[in-house]
A = this chain, B = another copy of it.
Amino acid sequence: MAFKSLSQPRVRLADEVYAQILQAIQNGAITSEDRIVQEKLAEEFGISRTPVREALFRMEQEGILAVAQRGGFKIRKIGPDEITELYEARCSIEGFAARLLAQRNDKALNMRLREIIADAEDLKNETVKAYFNANLTVHRAIVEASENRFLLEFFDNLWNRGSSFTLFSTIESTDLSKSLGDHMALIDAIESGNDTFAAEKMIAHISDGHRLQVQSGRV
Contact = CB atoms under 8 A, between A and B. Distances in A.
Interface string A189-213: 0000000100010000000000000
A39 interface: no
Contact of A58 (B61, B147, B149, B158): B61
B150 A88 contact: yes
B200 A151 contact: no
For A61, A62, A85, A200, the residue with the greatest tally of chain B CB atoms inside 10 Å of its CB is A85
A-side interface size class: 20 to 34
B200 A85 contact: no
Contacts of A52: none
Interface string A50-75: 00001001100111000000000000
A154 interface: yes
9 contacts: A61-B61, A82-B149, A85-B147, A92-B151, A96-B96, A154-B154, A154-B157, A196-B196, A196-B200
Interface of A: 54, 57-58, 61-63, 82, 85-86, 88-89, 91-93, 95-97, 100, 147-151, 153-154, 157-158, 196, 200
